A = this chain, B = another copy of it.
Amino acid sequence: MPTLNRQITLAARPVGMPKESDFRLEESPMPRPGGGEVLVQARYLSVDPYMRGRLSGVTTYARGLDLGEVIVGGVVGRVVESNDPRHSAGDTVEGMLGWQEYAVAPGRLLRQIDPAAGPISSALYVLGMPGLTAYFGLLEICRPHAGETVVVSGAAGAVGSLVGQIARIKRCRAIGIAGSREKVRFLTEELGFDGAFNYRETTDYAAKLKELCPNGVDVYFDNVGGVITDAVMRHIATNARVAVCGQISQYNAVEPETGPRWLSQLIVRQAKVEGFLVSQFAGRFEDGLRQLSTWMKEKRLVYREDVVDGLENAPQAFIRMLEGKNIGKQLVKVGT
């Protein structure tokens, strides 16, 4: 074991899209676990859209970071030393350990991962926060019925790619909105979406939505916001349900964006728009993981990881995810 730890810290508050210079690679003394604590060696780091909010320093549902702090995010790794009876050296665990090679955390905040259940990285994806977000967001917030049309934005991302597939499992029509031809092919050819379009090459969103959703949009799972959501809102069906999961198009806005008002449309369509956090469903995570695991084993949930190698490249991985360059779950592989 090395004597020094390597960490990525917040060097500057990003203005607009984060730059690599907003982050700093630092060395620090190797941490030692105290009572009830566990030392974990990171294997995979998760980079997720919501983490952009932490960098602003404002605490909403996720804690804002101070300058100089290690970037906080989900990590899967291997227990090196444990002072908690729930975990033993060699175990695989998942927790909010941040962008660093080694981390110490209270054992009670770590989740045991069964390496036999699938690749350990899936603890950050299908069998982790994105999977649970897709599962509870779609099934509990939107309550889709067989035969309904489900539209998802950010469809080729970690959450979106699962939302469309779960919609299909529930016998809905799944329509994806994504940002490249390759993503559209991924959705329709690999994941079985019923339709998809590339918003960067579509000029008339309304016409495209009408073509792909001739009976209107019954369920809209929104990861993106902005002009894409404006277009979908104009095309919702009566009794539509909209889950607001993310608004990645707005996260780097320097000034708050404006857009057309559409609350009248909610009256006309008797429709509901609901924001949610996966943590609302914490009491039911085990049920969700059991179902997701079953679907994964049955190959009814197909997934793709987009892996960048090396802790030092975590900022770059985070930026490319915010730029929409990833297909599937963006991860950073650390160590061996």
B interface footprint on A242-272 (CB within 8 Å = 1, 0 otherwise)? 0011110010000011111101111111111
Q: Taking the complex as formed, is A328 at the interface, i.e. its CB lies under 8 A from any CB of chain B?
A: no
* Distance of A205 from chain B, by nearest CB (Å): 16
Q: Taking the complex as formed, is A226 at the interface, i.e. its CB lies under 8 A from any CB of chain B?
A: yes
Q: A244-B266, A266-B244 are in contact. Are A271 and B275 (CB under 8 A)?
A: yes
* Distance of A65 from chain B, by nearest CB (Å): 17
Task: Count copies of this chain in the complex.
Answer: 2
Expressed in whole angstroms, the Cα–Cα distance for A273 and B276 within the complex equals: 12
CB atoms of B256 and A258 under 8 A apart:
no
Chain A: residues with Cβ within 8 Å of the partner, total of 33
Query: Main SS of the interface on chain A?
Result: mixed
Q: Taking the complex as formed, is A131 at the interface, i.e. its CB lies under 8 A from any CB of chain B?
A: no
CB atoms of A266 and B270 under 8 A apart:
no
CB atoms of B245 and A267 under 8 A apart:
yes
Quick one: which of B225, B265, B268 contacts A263, CB cutoff 8 A? B225
Quick one: which of B247, B263, B267, B275 contacts A61, CB cutoff 8 A? B267
Expressed in whole angstroms, the Cα–Cα distance for A272 and B245 within the complex equals: 12
Inter-chain contacts of A215 with B (CB < 8 A): none
Q: Taking the complex as formed, is A222 at the interface, i.e. its CB lies under 8 A from any CB of chain B?
A: yes
Expressed in whole angstroms, the Cα–Cα distance for A280 and B272 within the complex equals: 14
In A286-334, the 8 Å CB interface with B consists of none
